[in-house]
Structure 1
Amino acid sequence: MKKYNMLTDSPGRSLFFFALPMIFGNLFQQFYSTVDSIIVGQFVGEDALAAVGASYSLTTVFIMIAIGGGIGASVITSQYLGAGLYKRMKTSVYTALISFVTVSIILGVFGLFFSSKILVGLNTPENILADAMLYLNIYFVGLPFLFMYNILSSIFNALGNSKTPLYLLIFSSLLNIVMDLLLVGGFGFGIAGAAVATVFAQGLSAVISFCILMYTLRGYAGQEEHKEQKEGERQQVKEVAVLTASEHGMEKEKSLFDVGMLGNMIKVAIPSMLQQSIVSIGMLLVQSVVNGFGSSVLAGYTAGTRIESVCIVPMIASGNAVSTFTAQNLGAGNSERVKKGYLAAVKMVVGFAVVICLVLTLFHGAIIRSFLERGSEPAAFETGNAYLSFIAFFFVCIGLKAITDGVLRGSGDVVIFTLANLVNLGIRVTIAFSMAPHWGVQAVWIAVPMGWSANFLISFVRYLTGKWSKKKLIKMEE
């Protein structure tokens, strides 16, 4: 497959072919997560599936924090790449890895100490509480590896290399499935086997990914040397009274950590964490609503949310691609090209939404049945079917939200972006809690497209102002 340059090639093609490996990679990630649930549901039972579901919304929040942190780092890295400041770009990579791996260790320790209290606070049914706690504790032990795995994927994407994360995700997914079948289906380790399989597969992929990244960064040293040689040939040209980009690169060559860069990363990372985790945080906060309807409804809801997670993959990947596209082109000083990329991205997500709607409308029943063993309670089937048949028509909303947020995030225009995502979260939680007594568990998913739509409208108004194009997180004199 040809490698498209985001700075020079057709915006539509470069976005699509950059997003494609991200979509396939994330689909594989969701695929093995889904297979994880299917294996647990078929080999262990409905209660075990409900226990994984009770843990899933919490574990996904932590992973989305990692992805959001990675995006914060990737925006800075992409802008340095677009500006040709390769040594500063390398420093941004090292700064991100050191910072976010430290955060993951802190979060892992926090999770181990408070997992039981969190589950009890979410009204987790008593009959699945022990299994859910066991799954979470194993998960938190491996959290640093899971965090690093997702941070590294974001950094590769920032470098314009979305293929390496794809290959590693395929490897991780297949390894996870094999280990699931071996530990859960073969040795009968149940919930513990599923958790160990996930941690081991992603942990091994994280180590391999780190080694590949270190090798990749060596290649940019040669590009920097070539750039410095060209600068030397043009010494007769009058220089401005600031350090040139190459001089600054030489000065900072040995820097592994930069507090100023970390501050800029945090500016983007915090709203990005919110944006990436908004679905998961919403699921977590309304988990107590679903739990109140019993473990059978929770099992059906778990199956539905797993399929929803698969369906939003192309939308989130498109938004992340737009973020990288925006960052690189603003780094190169070309805001008009960003607008062309945005229009191309709109067509992409509308096309994805039509395909998803057709598939779910035709096959939602068969999809839900694949998660549940024979003899499962009718409420589990009914809940899953109702969820998918409703949400099928609204994925275009999250697609438009994702790409519009991508422009704002890639430019570093984070205030309205953050507000829009908070409104999204507020709508989902408020409607779920206030209307569940009247509408039943359906209130949980009826609120979803309402939150997505409000988020999109707020971000789109900001996009139309054009103020995002005036922002940039790096300066050429750095």
Structure 2
Amino acid sequence: MRIRLSDHFTYGRLLRYTFPSMVMMVFTSIYSIVDGLFVSNYVGKEAFAAVNLVYPVFMIISAIGFMLGTGGSAIVAQALGEKRNEQAQEYFSMLVFVTFWLGVAATVLCEIFLKPLTGLLGASGKLQDYSILYGRFTTLSMPFFMLQTSFQMYFNVAEKPKAGLAVTVMAGGANIVLDFLLVGVFRFGLVGAAVATNISEILGGVIPVIYFLRKNDSLLRLRRAHFEGRVFGKACTNGSSEMLSSISSSVVSILYNYRLLELAGADGVAAYGAIMYMAFIFAAILMGYANGSAPIVSYQYGAQNQAELKNLFRKSLVIIGSMDLIMFLLAELCADPVTWIFVGYDPGLHAMTRAGFRIFSLSFLIVGFTIYGSAFFTALGDGGVSAFLSFSRTFVFQIGAVLLLPALLGLTGIWFATFAAELCSLAVTIGFWAAKKKKYGYA
């Protein structure tokens, strides 16, 4: 039975509607994880460190697509809730086209400045050569990856989360198979990993375009559209929190890598990369829930249904709290085998990674609430609060923690930094939930 944005949501219905989005986010995170897994085991730890060193740059670029997808989907969903269907189609089409062309521009700039950028990141010698080689190829498909990240949100607005899941599984599956063939079988190294990512991202961006251009039974269709600066600006403002979150996380990852190069050399960067791959999967599940439930919140807010907003908010907190606890327990139980998959070929590196992961996993007890807090205010159209929460969480608190704690605790302080930052962010998020509850009527 098709679930509609206008429905009343029980726990079961809410989980069924958001589950495809959670799986989509996990498969999206697979791009970097699978590349890293095959590169680490078949090319070596220095090439693995290069992938992790340059990866934040790509995430900064793709953040544009995430911004327009989250901010734009809230605008489109609110327009649908207010029964302005024609305007919703116009906004949707315009934002998709703009996303693609911004991706093209970002790719050109990245190709031009990649070499000096890797130098600024602290890479030199063979590590820099590997970073440039991998980066030259992977930036070519960035416009399509930006489209894919945007369409993840629009599939939810179109009441077609399962179609979005199918596209993402197809693209992620292609990446896994191609990495196995190009890196594991034919031994094309970093170039093979990059080409595998290129092909999978192109599939993930092109297939949704074809779907929405053709006649379908969803709420959205792509068509000719004129650029509307006001709507584009509002989408940027509303989605700025998600963009700030991605950019800030990427900048913080660069800082982590820089400090780790100082404290532990390339091994430290490799260990951090392996830990972050697991963190990507857990965060992807939580972001998938937040993004999957956001169109429902936007629709009900547009329809001025405060009773359903209260229902969604309460149930979401229960679901997220349960997810956080389960993820923490899984991380503690699986720290040894999971880290062995990535770096088991080097006993010293494996021991460092395992110890760091056990400490880092404390952040899983909190991160779901802080991720949902920002996404919830984005869905309500309050881009200012959402941006403040994202910026403070992923930039201010993280940078403060990564600068202070290693100075006090050495390498151990690096692994504690994320937990300390999330704890501070949770306090700020709870404060805004309490301050804004009467204005929006969700509690």
Q: Which amino acid aligns with 1:59?
A: F
> Which moves more between the two structures, 410-419 or 284-293?
284-293
1:370 partner SS:
helix
Aligned equivalents of 1:315 and 1:305: distance in 2?
A: 15
Query: Where in structure 2 are the equivalents of 1:352-367 lying within 5 Å?
Result: 352-367=323-338
**Alpha carbons 1:29, 1:173 under 8 Å: kept:** yes
Q: Which residue of 2 aligns with 1:345?
A: 316
Aligned equivalents of 1:310 and 1:219: distance in 2?
A: 29
Matched residues, number: 438
Aligned equivalents of 2:215 and 2:316: distance in 1?
A: 29
Residue 210 (structure 2) pairs with residue 211 (structure 1): yes
Aligned equivalents of 2:113 and 2:145: distance in 1?
A: 19
Aligned equivalents of 1:206 and 1:221: distance in 2?
A: 16
Q: Which amino acid aligns with 2:115?
A: S
Q: Deviations over 1:254-289 (max 9, x none)?
A: 644322221221221222211344433321233211
Distance 1:445 1:158, change over 3 A: farther
Query: Where in structure 2 are the equivalents of 1:120-139 lying within 5 Å?
Result: 120-139=119-138
Distance 1:362 1:40, change over 3 A: same
Q: Percent identity, aligned pairs only?
A: 18
2:7 partner SS:
coil
Q: Deviations over 1:89-129 (max 9, x none)?
A: 11111121122222211211111112122221121253311
What TM-score does the superposition give when structure 1 sets the normalisation length? 0.86
Q: Which amino acid aligns with 1:402?
A: I
> Which moves more between the two structures, 411-420 or 210-219?
210-219
**Alpha carbons 1:417, 1:459 under 8 Å: kept:** no
Aligned equivalents of 1:457 and 1:217: distance in 2?
A: 44
Distance 1:468 1:186, change over 3 A: farther
**Alpha carbons 1:271, 1:417 under 8 Å: kept:** yes
Q: Which residue of 2 aligns with 1:244?
A: none
Distance 1:46 1:377, change over 3 A: farther
Aligned equivalents of 1:460 and 1:322: distance in 2?
A: 19
Residue 278 (structure 2) pairs with residue 307 (structure 1): yes
Structure 1 segments of 4+ aligned residues over 4 angstroms from their partners: 216-222, 467-471
Residue 64 (structure 2) pairs with residue 65 (structure 1): yes
CA root-mean-square deviation: 2.3
Residue 439 (structure 2) pairs with residue 439 (structure 1): no
**Alpha carbons 1:268, 1:414 under 8 Å: kept:** yes
**Alpha carbons 1:68, 1:276 under 8 Å: kept:** no
Aligned equivalents of 1:457 and 1:434: distance in 2?
A: 19
Q: Which residue of 2 aligns with 1:333?
A: 304
What TM-score does the superposition give when structure 2 sets the normalisation length? 0.92
Larger radius of gyration: 1
Aligned equivalents of 2:275 and 2:434: distance in 1?
A: 35
**Alpha carbons 1:125, 1:294 under 8 Å: kept:** no
1:312 partner SS:
helix
**Alpha carbons 2:212, 2:220 under 8 Å: kept:** no
C-alpha displacement of 1:339:
2.0
C-alpha displacement of 1:217:
6.2
Q: Deviations over 1:8-64 (max 9, x none)?
A: 222533331121011112222333532222211111111121111112222223233
**Alpha carbons 1:115, 1:136 under 8 Å: kept:** yes
C-alpha displacement of 1:438:
3.6
**Alpha carbons 1:83, 1:331 under 8 Å: kept:** yes
Q: Which residue of 2 aligns with 1:192?
A: 191
2:122 partner SS:
coil
**Alpha carbons 1:50, 1:128 under 8 Å: kept:** yes
Q: Which amino acid aligns with 2:390?
A: N
**Alpha carbons 1:60, 1:280 under 8 Å: kept:** yes
Q: Which amino acid aligns with 1:273?
A: M
Q: Which residue of 1 aligns with 2:359?
A: 390
2:214 partner SS:
helix
Residue 267 (structure 2) pairs with residue 296 (structure 1): yes
Aligned equivalents of 2:218 and 2:388: distance in 1?
A: 40
Residue 380 (structure 2) pairs with residue 411 (structure 1): yes
Distance 1:369 1:125, change over 3 A: farther
2:66 partner SS:
helix
Aligned equivalents of 2:217 and 2:386: distance in 1?
A: 35
**Alpha carbons 2:357, 2:415 under 8 Å: kept:** no
Aligned equivalents of 1:221 and 1:197: distance in 2?
A: 30
Aligned equivalents of 1:178 and 1:322: distance in 2?
A: 31
1:3 partner SS:
coil
> Which moves more between the two structures, 188-197 or 19-28?
19-28
Aligned equivalents of 2:204 and 2:215: distance in 1?
A: 16
Q: Deviations over 1:330-357 (max 9, x none)?
A: 1111133212211111111111122212
**Alpha carbons 1:46, 1:373 under 8 Å: kept:** no
Residue 7 (structure 2) pairs with residue 37 (structure 1): no
**Alpha carbons 2:290, 2:375 under 8 Å: kept:** yes
Query: Where in structure 2 are the equivalents of 1:34-433 lying within 5 Å?
Result: 34-215=33-214, 220=219, 255-292=225-262, 293-372=264-343, 374=345, 376=346, 378=348, 380-424=349-393, 425-433=395-403
Aligned equivalents of 1:336 and 1:168: distance in 2?
A: 34
C-alpha displacement of 1:467:
6.0
**Alpha carbons 2:92, 2:220 under 8 Å: kept:** no
Q: Which amino acid aligns with 1:403?
A: Y
Distance 1:454 1:205, change over 3 A: same
**Alpha carbons 1:32, 1:174 under 8 Å: kept:** no
C-alpha displacement of 1:455:
2.5
**Alpha carbons 2:300, 2:306 under 8 Å: kept:** yes
C-alpha displacement of 1:377:
5.7
